[in-house]
Structure 1
Amino acid sequence: MTSFVSTSRSRSSYARSLTQDSLSSPGGYQTGPRYLYYRLYSKDGPIQSHNPIYHNDPFIGRILPRHITPPHTGISVKNYLCNVEGLAGATSSALFESLSCQAALEESAQLSLRSHHGHGLLEDEPMAVVVEAHDVRMRQAARDGQSKELTDADLREYRYVYYCIYNKDSVMPSKMSFIPDDNSLGRIDTLSIAPPHTVASLKRRIMNAEGVINQTINLFKDTDGEALMNETDHIYFLDPLASYPGQTEDEPIAIVCGAVFQESRGKDKERQGKDGKRRRRDEGRRREDSDTQLRETRRVDGERELSHEINDANHALSRRFKVTPTRGSLSYSPGWLALKTDEIMHTDGIRTSSKFKTLAGWRACYGYIAINSTGQTGFVPEHAITFL
């Protein structure tokens, strides 16, 4: 792709010259107040500021750095900006040194805010705060009357991303169209894209602008559709000397909705069908196992009741035995006693049977109904018994 060079004055050059012309003394030092300029975003797009500078650009705000609690770090600046913007309860937020930065500032990072240089000095190069979309819905309202004293911003050079949006059959009308006789071509302002500026953030902004919900979309570098855009790739929207996909009306990017989603939905249905069969099979096995355990528990309970009747008839559990080591206690089987090596128990000496579960299913096991040292009654397999 050829490099794009702006033929008009860049916004950065304009802002710098404005600062030098209006805020500098003859010696070259700024004499006006030092502001921190910033823009607010959710991950879906821009958020209007509670501290706007202009009527015609309500998305940029500014504050005096001396109002921020020292030390001036990433976390203190972020907390102050969220607080004055009614977002103090934000569950997640990120602070960017500028709109073109590809990574958020560390919360412990020291920021230069006092001198007439450093972070957020120019409205053309503001800092940025990005919050979650659901936090915007819980945002506190702005104070009334603040916008009455605002002026209009000077005209700026707009930089757009142009695109066409498609479903599986054809191009669709764009909600962001701007040509009366061609509603298929849409565009968004690059300043409306939340940092970091990646294909993923561009994709999310366009989905929000077009109202695309619950669909998978693919972005292509042009309408030929030969080059799929990677969501992790960085895009330099604000560099006047850089080019980017969709920079001109004649070379829009292509956004395809639904095709991958439909295929994915078909695979999901097939997977859900297989999962449903597997769940029904597992539930059937669990019910079978549960019924078997219930029958076994009732049988053992009957043996316990019979044992108590024997005791009542003065047929005491008089035979003593010692628990011997086994390959497994099998204490998880319903109605079985937990076994402890060398523990002394008592039984009536009447041999009976019970069942236990293995990987191959339920199997029978011979043993005795016994009472342990804590007074609990239950089944003990005979291979764990040594009579005394």
Structure 2
Amino acid sequence: MSSSKAGSSLLDGSGGIQPISEPKAGPRYIYYRIYTKQGALESNNPIYSNDRFISRIVSRSVAPPHTAACLKKHIFRIEKFELSTKCTLYSSLSDQAPVEDSARLALRGISGPGVSEIDPVVLVVDVSDAKKRSKVTSVEAKDLVEWSPTRRYVYYRVYDEAGEISSKTAFDDTDSCLGRVGTLCISPPYTALSLKYCIMGAEGVSPDRVCNLFEDEGGENTMKDGDTVALLSDNYPGVSKEEPLAIVYALQKDPVNPSEQSNFTKKLIVTVYGTWGDYDHTWHTTKAGEIFHTDGILLKKPYVTDSEFACYAAINSSGKKAFIHQVYSSFG
């Protein structure tokens, strides 16, 4: 009996069974992809020879606390972006809303954001910041391994208002107006506007050009900019070349010059950085201090949804006419 008690006391010191402690979560890889609103950017730190758009870091390289802001800063360093780069972070390709900079992320253990190549973290950077990026990678394909992801595409036909036109991504010699883009080339969040921007980028068309996107060639269903597109499902618009969607460009017009607009003479100065135009082409994307010209007439216009906001019609230095929020601007 005494030996039994002695044996029990060795287990937990009080005659009971000592509970088994859970192993601590250790460091792991965090996979990521980088985009602008116009599509995917190659990584400066590629890991696969046949997909230079995906990369990874080790979680222990991210400075504590493990917030979204800390993760972005470390990836900026690896990818040669300036630390001041404007960027939104999504914890998954499927996310429709970005992660707040202050949000804590589970970057250790066997689960969490960026846990695999199939479900990476996504960073969407401003186009102007992408142009300032230093590209120094010298990694050659022979130094990298291949991987075999399932290639998925969005198929589409290209038109202007006068009829079909040739696509720059045509892959069928017998059908030059049929193009396609890889689903992984499209920037989250997966909306009709993101899809439209990616196609326009692939076709070499300015994102400011007016166009409409339809779910099919018949044009029965117009896709609104804010519509969610289920690109991770098995059934989305343009899923096959037999059922392509259609993009129709407005005929080109001469750019509007503010100095030639007798009514748009009032100077309007933007007070904050805003990405409204990234999600609704009828609105401007703006930078603090940027100068526009307006007629000064206060309007109410919808943004993405049916909600209406007080705004001004204004023209930027490139001649684009779109809306600017009243509360984020002031007259100069």
TM-score class normalised by the smaller sequence: 0.5 to 0.7
If each structure's helix is expressed as a fraction of its own residues, which one has the higher value? 1
Q: In the TM superposition, what is the alpha-carbon distance from 1:150 to its structure 2 partner?
A: 1.2
Structure 1 residue runs without a partner (length 5+): 1-28, 281-388
The answer to whether residue 51 in structure 2 is matched with residue 57 in structure 1 is yes
The answer as to 2:157 corresponding to 1:196 is no
Q: 1:249 to 1:146 in 2, by over 3 A?
A: closer
Task: Classify 1:244/1:145 alpha carbon distance in 2 versus 1 (closer, same or farther; 3 Å).
Answer: closer
Q: 1:187 aligns with which of 174, 180, 183?
A: 180
The superposition leaves residues 30-84 of structure 1 with CA deviations (integer Å, 9 ceiling, x where unpaired) of: x997200001111111111112110110000000000000000111111111121
Contact 1:164 1:185 in 2 (8 A): yes
From 206, 210, 215, the counterpart of 2:209? 215
**2:219 aligns with one of 215, 225, 236:** 225
Quote the Cα distance in structure 2 between the aligned partners of 1:54 and 1:258.
39
Deviation (angstroms), 1:208:
0.5
1:85 aligned residue: 79
Cα distance change, pair 180–144 in 1 and its aligned pair in 2 (3 A): same
Residues 39 and 145 (structure 1 numbering): CA distance in 2 closer, same or farther, change over 3 Å? Answer: closer
Please state how far the C-alpha of 1:148 moved relative to its aligned partner.
5.2
The change in CA–CA distance for 1:80 and 1:34 in structure 2 (over 3 A counts) is same
Q: Which residue of 2 aligns with 1:161?
A: 154
Q: TM-score, normalised by structure 2?
A: 0.67
Check the 8 A contact 1:74/1:111 in 2, yes or no.
yes
CA contact (8 A) 1:161 1:245 kept: yes
Q: How much does 1:252 deviate?
A: 0.8
Query: Which one has the largest radius of gyration?
Result: 1
Q: CA deviation at 1:145?
A: 4.5
The correspondence for 2:242, drawn from 245, 250, 266, is: 250
Q: Which residue of 2 aligns with 1:131?
A: 125
What is the CA–CA distance in structure 1 between the aligned matches of 2:82 and 2:58, rounded to whole Å? 18
Matched, 1:36 2:30: yes
1:314-340 CA distances to partner (integer Å, 9 max, x unpaired)?
A: xxxxxxxxxxxxxxxxxxxxxxxxxxx
2:42 aligned partner: 48
Work out whether residues 82 and 90 of structure 1, in 8 Å CA contact, stay in contact via their aligned partners in 2: no
- Report the equivalent of 1:152: 146
Distance 1:202-1:90 versus aligned 2 partners, 3 A rule = farther
Separation in 1, partners of 2:32, 2:102: 19
| Alignment coverage as a number of residue pairs | 242
Q: Measure the CA separation in 2 of the matches of 1:138 and 1:120.
A: 26
Runs of 4+ in 1 over 4 A off after TM superposition: 145-148
Matches of 1:272 and 1:218 in 2, distance apart? 29
Query: 1:294-317 CA deviation, whole Å, 9 max, x = no partner?
Result: xxxxxxxxxxxxxxxxxxxxxxxx
- Contact 1:52/1:147 (CA < 8 Å) preserved in 2? no
Instruction: Note if contact 2:26-2:109 (Cα within 8 Å) is conserved in structure 1.
Output: no
| Structure 1 residue 230 displacement after superposition | 0.5
